[in-house]
Chain A
Amino acid sequence: MSATVIERGTAASRIAGIGVAAIILLLAIAPQFLSAGAVDRVTALFIYVILAAMWNALAGFGGLVSVGQQVFFGLGAYFAIRLANAGLNPFVSLFVSAIIVGAISWPISLFMLRLKNGEFAIGMWVIAALTHLLVNLDRLIQGETGTSLISLNVYDASTRRMTIYWLALASMTALLAILFGLLRGSTGAAIRAIRDNEDAAASVGVRVTGTKRLLFVLAAFGIGVAGALWLATSITFQPKTYFNVQWTAYMIFMVLVGGIGTFEGAILGALLFFLIETWFGGTGVWYLIGLGATALAFSLLLPRGLWGTLEERFGWRLLPVGYRVRLPINASDTTGASPAQATTSREKA
């Protein structure tokens, strides 16, 4: 009897790994060849990828659907304004701000993670609404009038644009790498166990709440980075724009369309959202109706999203975070395990 093979990657995934490195390298030198407007758009794409990946980490892997993630987006921008106003270098304050957001999310998680499903979802929305109102009270912000990250104006436009571009690229790469490392490590096995069945995971000794808390704080930090970067690109801070539930709607759209609970799906979703926004964003309200309707259709008809469906059908794994057990059933099958035989093992905690 031949041994069962446990795989952590496939030939395709090894090629994909090289591909990812090449893409990041290409993106790093891309501004040399892109127009100013294009650089700004690609920066927005990086921010979308961060948002999608972070919401996916929370909902797809942690099973925590939040419709209040705009709170961390808004806070990321708000603290950046506050820190810059206190004299900190504006670029440094973007990241210090995200760390503060991550730190704040910890006490929030102690409280909110006791809620389940829909209660957690709207509970987070209440937190977002309350935070928005409290930020409005800050005199520096001047209510809904808002303020600007004025200290960024000491840099000339092109330096600013390039720096923000590279910071966004680096942030996206780092956050995706952290998430990938987390999902591939032993925490990842726990995370996927929770995703698939929380009670069963708890019964075999997975620390459910601790693992969820980790994802919650990571998502808050990542979305805080995204909010701060968005502030850096747009300069102005209006609480209404940043604490808008629309941000969460975008995250949900990207993850649902791309494939909830798959690492690649969130990135694919962000890319599709970016293209749709580029093509149809000008149509205003119909664009938003289309986004809502698409999200609705995907959750009803294709709940696994595009990547999830492709992965299931063809056994694709470009950036594998799980384990694949290849059972030696077909010894004659030289082309490798067919998707039906390749399953992701979730036993390890």
Chain B
Amino acid sequence: MMNQIVQGILLGGYYALIACGLSFMFSVMRIINLAHGSLAILSAFALWLLASRFHISPFLGLVIVLPLMAVIGWALQRFLLERSARGGALLPILTTFGLAIVIDNVLFEQFGADTRSLAPFIGSLSYDSWEWPGSIYVGKLAVIIFVAAVVLLGGLQLFLTHTGLGRSIRATSEDPDTAGLVGVDARRANTIAAAIAMVTVGLAGAFLGMRATFDPYAGATQLLFAFEAAVIGGAGSLWGTLIGGIVLALAQTLGATVHPQGFLIGGHVAFLIVLFIRLYTSGLGLRGLLGLAAGKAS
């Protein structure tokens, strides 16, 4: 039992990693990127291609793929999101959904339906484990992912609070017009935020590829995980995302012990329960992510 809880918490680190980009983009640009999961899979395939074709280790491959993801983030914001956001709140949903379909099917066209994994390219790391007191075995990779998530979330938090660029991104997320009045280039802030978000997506895709398998259509599931973790945690702080990821993973673990097919069901049900409680008790806890205006719910 203890063992499963530990595994669940470590898995939560991965969910926090994939959720933080989604939550970050939403808090800055008020856009939920439906291509989020597909872009993570794109990154995983890029690393797989580098590893299998050019024998570049996935960790080394990140040096190539992460800057590429930043460029994708920049292009995404400049050419798609910025333009469609001008047409109202609904268009970005349709635009990013269209993008997700294109990415998924292009990946399918290129790589076929086979499931892939980066595990064969990282040597013994994929199965090495440490023994903790109480005969709990934790995978080294799972710990690395968890630590990476904590470092990334902490780093992002420090960046947002202690750097000029971070402050300008926060100012833009609060109120782009007013931020513009005091000399913040909202367009630049949004573009940089998108680039950062895509780097986190790239990293999440890499870890997904190392710890599990993926196929061209796996993006949708990852999007749902990211969204659920972000909502459970609330977008108030980035640490909330970590809590959200852990709650999601524990609920899935619990679901899997109840029923052999209960892993995903457990996660979805936990998400809906948290959402239900939040919406009906305060409605305030989700203000950041759900943007419920007071009095609108009646």
Interface residues of A (CB under 8 A from B): 59, 63, 65, 67, 111, 114-119, 121-123, 125-127, 129-130, 133-134, 136-137, 202, 208-209, 245, 249, 252, 256, 285-286, 288-289, 291-293, 295-296, 299-300, 303
Contacts and interface: CB of A to CB of B under 8 A. Distances in A.
A252 B268 contact: no
Interface string B85-107: 00101111111011111100110
A252 B291 contact: no
A136 B269 CA distance: 16
Interface residues of B, number: 50
B152 interface: no
Chain B interface mostly:
helix
Contact of A121 (B32, B83, B220, B290): B32
A285 B279 contact: no
B18 to A, nearest CB: 14
B297 A114 contact: yes
A292 B101 contact: yes
Contacts of A118: 26, 31-32, 34, 89, 92-93
B5 interface: no
Interface in B73-87: 80, 83-84, 87
A292 B224 CA distance: 20
A274 to B, nearest CB: 19
B115 to A, nearest CB: 16
Contacts, number: 126
B292 interface: yes
Interface string B115-156: 000000000000000000000000000000000000000000
A303 B271 CA distance: 33
Contacts of B84: 299-300, 303
A121 B26 CA distance: 14
Chain A CB within 10 A, most for which of B31, B80, B265? B265
B215 interface: no
Nearest to B265: A133
Given A118-B92, A122-B34, A299-B95, 7 more contacts: A118-B32, A252-B97, A296-B98, A299-B87, A299-B91, A299-B94, A303-B84
Interface of B: 26, 31-32, 34, 80, 83-84, 87, 89-95, 97-102, 105-106, 108-109, 220-221, 223-224, 227-228, 231, 259, 261, 264-265, 268-269, 271-272, 275-276, 279, 289-292, 296-298
A285 B93 contact: no
A245 B221 CA distance: 11
18 contacts: A114-B290, A116-B89, A117-B32, A117-B93, A118-B34, A118-B89, A126-B271, A126-B272, A130-B268, A133-B268, A136-B261, A209-B298, A292-B100, A292-B102, A293-B98, A299-B84, A299-B95, A300-B95
Contacts of B290: 114-116, 119
Contact of B228 (A65, A126, A137, A296): A126
Contacts of B83: 300
Contact of A67 (B87, B97, B272): B97
Q: What 8 A-B pairs are tightest by C-beta distance, nearest first? A: A118-B32, A292-B101, A296-B98, A295-B98, A292-B102, A130-B268, A288-B105, A299-B94
A65 B271 contact: no
A123 B231 CA distance: 10
Contacts of A303: 84, 87, 91
